[in-house]
Structure 1
Amino acid sequence: MTSKIEGWSNRQKDTGWGYAFAHWIPFVWIYYAITRRTITPFLYQTCGAFVIGFSIGFVSAIVNPNVEDETVENLASLGALIGSPLLVKKGVDQSRLFAKSKLTN
């Protein structure tokens, strides 16, 4: 287990999109959460995917009430899959800002 200061320092190294796309790989988020001592990217991904899926389902029901459930599920899954790296990157950036403020204090 890493210390808080080590985790905050490790977060400052995450400037690219590597971990954002790596969250597609199962259990990478657990490694990231342990070594960076944060679950913020995972929460952004989970909550964001839920909102994307719910929004696609809601809009599909309004636009075409006769659309099949399987089609909506596939579209919602695709939307969540595409949006996942963007959401994780936002979570990584947010956790980096928090760690930066903690390291300067």
Structure 2
Amino acid sequence: MDKLIIAALACLPNHRMVDIADKLPPHIPYVDIVVSVEPFYARFYIYPVGLPEDSQQCCGNKASSVLRLTVGNGKFCIRQSQPNMKWQVRGLATPGISL
């Protein structure tokens, strides 16, 4: 129950929290992600938990974009511009780091 309350307070209403901390190697400062959206004109927003002012958006009328995210604690909030849109996020391997 405590985790649910924290998640509700950390992300803005109608935004979803994702935790990728266990999928990342320890002590990396950032991760590059490829975001694909469908339809191409849809928007995908992502920001670190509790920091909506650091929001990044993609894909600017493109089917995919690359974003660089500061890892922090590995928890992010996601918002999509349209309820029925499809999106996919994949991490890019950084030199010296295997995912």
TM-score, length basis structure 1: 0.24
Pick the structure with greater CA Rg: 1
More helix by share: 1
Greater relative CO (CA pairs within 8 A, separation 6+): 1
